[in-house]
Structure 1
């Protein structure tokens, strides 16, 4: 590197630091009012319904939405697309006009009085007579918690219903005291008692109507095969499964078409599952870095799925062995720790971004995110949401020629696209951003569904198609084939459902051979030996 280029780089780094310092001055003393200047704060009435699973929290909020007058408007903000759909269908069954809005779909009724949406899709510019925020404890989630924080501070509503775990009671009290909003607390109790079985329930003793919970896709497949071999019909659910497939599997279990539901903790919320018993079959869960004991709040959430009101007089929970059983007993005897400030996670807000770009228009995406991290650091109100995934996408976005010509608000919106650049979606993400910049229409991907399609490939293609749908609703001219994308997604869904009915299989990542269900590795023995020989040859050559 020449001396000239070194001086040039040093000068740019100095200018970058100066821009970050300028932007940080916007937050003043870092009080929440500098970040969320909502003029309606202090005039809202908040009804907080706090209690365990299956205690009627959502019912209370839906009654308020059902009683809206013709000129009034309401919004239900869900943690999951599945839950938004379920509430939408419930309201429509009562003759109420409802629109459904999620990141990847729009079902708009021109006569709608109520909008059901995923919480990230909140329209903060619309005023509502009734606003509902579900699963408020998600405010502490390091990835998505910002959406609950934003809704709490920005939603414009006369009456707000906040539904969640008792753990958010202190947080809501602190918030109301600070904001001036009126708070009424309601503590709900389970309609049906939840009881621990006196002894563990071994897999061989699992009976019809049980949810058997494990914590990985491989485990769902392995135990699904075990229960089928034992003579049971089986439904299966895990996180990477498309929502439509999860919903169909839940329907099969509800209808009695499947004796046992084998699932990950993806069943902890968002699905109506009338099980009399929940058995947890594994003691550890991978948290993204390492495997640790299943968190006790999650154990309580999972176990709470047992004993659906109107179906059972009580719900029962058990571990599959004595160690898991004792851990569950300890979890159910405890309570969630109270959330309070500065636990809420927060991402860059629209107003803050607009002010930042007005102050320092040459700011890059990475500089803006860095300034935000530094702004929130030390705040007594908030924690900065985990921006690592956004920074990864920002690195890709900044490397695309012409991306700096997009308004900053659009660039930040693009960073929220459901593309996992760490899991092989970088090419798809880059291609779709290029279509926006070049103003060149991009055709919909194909599903790849067919007699030889593997479930892993179908799930990956579904994500690609969902990404196309996400971009369509923000840039319809660049992604015009929404009808085809929806059709191709349906093909993926139908093929995956067929795979489950036949029994899900695992495949070698190298050659595609079907792996034994009890295996723990992702490749077959032949490929493993071939790789070992190749490594040995490489060492010998060296």
Structure 2
């Protein structure tokens, strides 16, 4: 409804608005008046009650820009232009100086903005197209249809000044159609192959017989059958738990019939001496018992032949943070003629390499995504998953052994501790790891020495919560999600504090740079997730928890004692701050909780059996036994067969993500079983659609197409970057880490490694520059937090996305960290 001037108003701004309406004849909605008056009031000089027409029109445009942006979003979504962002529409609205534009005018302004953004996204139209598609996929999981891809290609062509004669749009359309057909074929083939593997497994299960049938099939007595089962001569194909706590044993009749010829030997043989089972080569229905023996996960320690051939000695060094565990092992490693240092994170592997190099020991590096080979070096720093199993060394060290209990990576520590081919192995960790390391040493038959170190400086718990306004230099605030870290950063920057941040989504290079800024005094306050718990040397005086609960990938729960000790122990750096203080932020919870957790004894582990999982050799052996090249089929049989739930020594690790990747890979033809297993081990985060992207890459690999590395995309000036742009850059970096991991294993299929390294470096530099900006930027989707008030009332709730923090902790289920290995 058009506004009718109210001549009784005495406000100068209202007088100015009424006069300008009368002069310009512009129609004003009643709902626009309050904001329009406030905007005009700011333009009035003291004592004035009039503005000229140009000023009034500019004020009216300022009032209407937000609705124009919303109108443009509506128009683009109706047109299927899903790549247009709200930032684009807001930027376009900001260029409009006509207070009454039509849709065509709005769209022309938007077109200029979008073309400029597309040109800045990548150096070539092909790369721009792929970057936009990848950003959409990361942000929403949306895969553009062929029609949407064609529309986007026209926009990209216009941005780069390509005309129809270039054939760009037509080429994109043909490629999109072909890719869609290929994707449909992959999905159909995957479903068909999965059905076939499930049918084979069910057919085998349906053929099993109860124990009552064993004497008839073997031509023996029931007593003899029971004795031979106890002597491990007769394979129990399946053990089915019953409601009353017993088990129903089922047997493969083909296996039993094949064993008839052995009965005379067994009846005359020595009791208690089992004869190894030899599967019948004429049958493809191999029983679970045979599969279990082939996989040999119930005899996992024997799988590491090089380590078992050595006369190993294990020294377990435990103690709290800042007790000098790493120093002890590094000194022994530096004195050895050969050795290796295994770390939980790529960042820490670099630190171990630098520590050894500083001691005059040339050291190479091996992580999931990079290699540094030093000619003549006999020492190696590596991540735990990269442990070399066949090159004996004099001394090895494995850090953070409490990770044995981690549901996602625990099996890697089991393999490293059991398989490290070192004559003297140092295992370092928190006291919580002692019982499981003892168990592993017993299973390996290795002698174990134990050394416990005490903290070098005192650590105290603050009696009262700390207020945000009372923070001091060298304080570290601990939150449990990226969002909370950035909200706290905005709140402190608004107060004029200098801030550094560390969270799991940041690359190791950026985390290290932020830690260095804090250590050098360029930042007063560090805000971090539990990503600081491992791999960073920090000169922290006080560790202050901003929440006492976290989301751990499954549920929101209270922090446990090990987490509080691991993080709180970062306070007080020997030689810098002789006393460390652990506290809680005001409003986040009780200081007594922190005090109780810090004083708690090491937690008793519910299950001391180390976690194990198959490797490439085991995968190949099982595949050969069941006569299948299906990774899905192999893993399905392994999950069902290789370890009984009540195995006294080992438990099967969580393999859900590997199984999910194997399931999706079923439809991709042209990859060997070994190659599929490599893809299944690739560290991706499915919360960022990592598995779907992995399948696209695998399809290109299988088809003989080079897999092009992701680009850095458009990077705005760091001082104008919004939070959503920072998050987009972090996701691009994660894509590049996964690509680089695969390029080391498939260099022919992933050939442009230098381009990927350049893009990674650009993203790292840009993210670091953004975080260096010491001025507050607006938060995506909300207002700036009030100075002095922790955003979102820390401690009173938790948003999904924290907890594991991406460090290996940030990676959802099973959440392989792309920065850790």
Instruction: Please say which of residues 95-104 and 33-42 is displaced more in the overlay.
Output: 33-42
SS at match of 2:308: coil
Return the offset for 1:191. 0.5
Question: Match for 1:218 among 483, 489, 506?
Answer: 483
Return the offset for 1:10. 7.9
1:459 match: 730
2:22 match: none
CA distance in structure 2 between the aligned counterparts of 1:483 and 1:346, rounded to whole angstroms: 36
**2:750 corresponds to 1:484:** no
**2:311 corresponds to 1:43:** yes
Q: 1:63 to 1:397 in 2, by over 3 A?
A: same
CA distance in structure 1 between the aligned counterparts of 2:419 and 2:198, rounded to whole angstroms: 40
**2:202 corresponds to 1:14:** yes
2:417 match: 152
Aligned length: 507
CA distance in structure 2 between the aligned counterparts of 1:289 and 1:155, rounded to whole angstroms: 32
- Write out aligned runs for 1:70-149 (5 A): 73-149=338-414
**2:625 corresponds to 1:359:** yes
2:500 match: 235
**2:284 corresponds to 1:284:** no
The structure carrying a bigger strand percent of its residues is: 1
Contact 2:487 2:779 in 1 (8 A): no
**2:656 corresponds to 1:388:** yes
Contact 1:168 1:338 in 2 (8 A): no
1:60 match: 328
1:337 match: 603
Return the offset for 1:466. 1.0
Return the offset for 1:222. 0.7
Q: 1:97 to 1:42 in 2, by over 3 A?
A: closer
TM norm structure 1? 0.87
Q: Which one scores higher on RCO, CA 8 angstroms, separation ≥ 6?
A: 1
Contact 1:472 1:480 in 2 (8 A): yes
Q: 1:11 to 1:205 in 2, by over 3 A?
A: closer
**2:467 corresponds to 1:199:** no
Contact 1:51 1:189 in 2 (8 A): yes
Return the offset for 1:372. 2.7
CA offsets per residue over residues 324-369 of structure 1, 9 Å max, x none? 4222111111122244864422211344323312322315222322
Cα RMSD, aligned residues only: 2.6
CA distance in structure 2 between the aligned counterparts of 1:394 and 1:106, rounded to whole angstroms: 27
Question: Match for 2:589 among 313, 323, 331?
Answer: 323
Return the offset for 1:221. 0.6
CA distance in structure 2 between the aligned counterparts of 1:287 and 1:521, rounded to whole angstroms: 11
SS at match of 2:665: helix
CA distance in structure 2 between the aligned counterparts of 1:62 and 1:240, rounded to whole angstroms: 29
CA distance in structure 1 between the aligned counterparts of 2:660 and 2:331, rounded to whole angstroms: 43
Question: Match for 1:448 among 697, 708, 713?
Answer: 713
- Write out aligned runs for 1:462-477 (5 A): 462-477=733-748
Return the offset for 1:42. 7.3
1:164 match: 429
Return the offset for 1:300. 0.6
Return the offset for 1:213. 0.2
1:23 match: 291
Q: 1:312 to 1:126 in 2, by over 3 A?
A: same
2:702 match: 437
CA offsets per residue over residues 256-282 of structure 1, 9 Å max, x none? 100000000000110000111100011
CA distance in structure 1 between the aligned counterparts of 2:199 and 2:343, rounded to whole angstroms: 47
Residue ranges of structure 1 left out of the alignment (5+ in a row): 523-542
Contact 1:57 1:188 in 2 (8 A): yes
Q: 1:515 to 1:371 in 2, by over 3 A?
A: farther
Question: Match for 2:772 among 490, 495, 501?
Answer: 501
CA distance in structure 1 between the aligned counterparts of 2:347 and 2:444, rounded to whole angstroms: 32
Contact 1:24 1:371 in 2 (8 A): no
**2:561 corresponds to 1:296:** yes
Instruction: Please say which of residues 387-396 and 230-239 is displaced more in the overlay.
Output: 387-396
Contact 1:42 1:182 in 2 (8 A): no
- Give the structure with higher Rg (CA): 2
CA distance in structure 2 between the aligned counterparts of 1:412 and 1:27, rounded to whole angstroms: 15
Return the offset for 1:236. 0.6
Q: 1:462 to 1:178 in 2, by over 3 A?
A: closer
**2:587 corresponds to 1:399:** no
Question: Match for 1:373 among 635, 639, 642?
Answer: 639
CA distance in structure 1 between the aligned counterparts of 2:599 and 2:377, rounded to whole angstroms: 44
TM norm structure 2? 0.59
CA distance in structure 2 between the aligned counterparts of 1:236 and 1:504, rounded to whole angstroms: 14
Contact 2:463 2:591 in 1 (8 A): no
CA distance in structure 1 between the aligned counterparts of 2:330 and 2:467, rounded to whole angstroms: 39
Contact 1:174 1:340 in 2 (8 A): no
Contact 1:365 1:394 in 2 (8 A): yes
CA distance in structure 2 between the aligned counterparts of 1:382 and 1:373, rounded to whole angstroms: 13
CA offsets per residue over residues 420-452 of structure 1, 9 Å max, x none? 234222443123212332233223221014217
Contact 2:561 2:603 in 1 (8 A): no
Q: 1:507 to 1:486 in 2, by over 3 A?
A: farther
Contact 1:284 1:294 in 2 (8 A): yes
Instruction: Please say which of residues 135-144 and 104-113 is displaced more in the overlay.
Output: 104-113
Q: 1:402 to 1:167 in 2, by over 3 A?
A: same
Instruction: Please say which of residues 98-107 and 367-376 is displaced more in the overlay.
Output: 367-376
CA distance in structure 2 between the aligned counterparts of 1:346 and 1:14, rounded to whole angstroms: 26
CA offsets per residue over residues 369-406 of structure 1, 9 Å max, x none? 23333323322222222112112211221122333xx0
Q: 1:521 to 1:152 in 2, by over 3 A?
A: closer
Contact 1:43 1:180 in 2 (8 A): no
CA distance in structure 2 between the aligned counterparts of 1:482 and 1:490, rounded to whole angstroms: 12
Contact 2:310 2:421 in 1 (8 A): no
SS at match of 1:473: helix
SS at match of 2:594: helix
Instruction: Please say which of residues 454-463 and 408-417 is displaced more in the overlay.
Output: 408-417
Return the offset for 1:171. 2.2
Return the offset for 1:411. 1.8
Contact 1:127 1:156 in 2 (8 A): yes
Residue ranges of structure 2 left out of the alignment (5+ in a row): 1-192, 206-284, 786-790, 793-797, 801-821
1:538 match: none
Instruction: Please say which of residues 51-60 and 429-438 is displaced more in the overlay.
Output: 429-438
